[in-house]
Structure 1
Amino acid sequence: MKQVDESIDKSPLSGKSAKEIIEHFKSYNFVDDHGHRLDMCLDFTDLVEMAANVSE
């Protein structure tokens, strides 16, 4: 039996693919001190890939 946390279950990211999660964060227009977009950060994209794969 898998335990489901209600707050996570209601997240707009719940059940989304890595690509959909990255698109969601791109809409916030986050940039670092050098003006690089968050979706261009390898650490971020790796983290999203890992998170998306855990939920599958």
Structure 2
Amino acid sequence: MPQLNPAPWFLILFLSWLTFLIVIPPKILAHQFANEPTVMGAEKPKPESWNWPWY
């Protein structure tokens, strides 16, 4: 049974994982988001109270 010989399959597995670990992560980490979050002030704004009439 040739599928039990690990020599060619291990090399294919190793090279494919090497490709995934070397080529793909820099492409993902270089991704820039369209809207970077802005830093808000440390003081939280005071919420306004509701002026709803109670009928």
Instruction: Specify if TM > 0.5.
Output: no
- If asked which structure has higher relative contact order (CA below 8 Å, sep 6+), I would say 1
TM-score by length of 2: 0.29
Bigger Rg, structure 1 or 2: 2
TM-score of the superposition, structure 1-length normalised? Answer: 0.28
Determine which structure has the larger helix proportion and give its number.
1
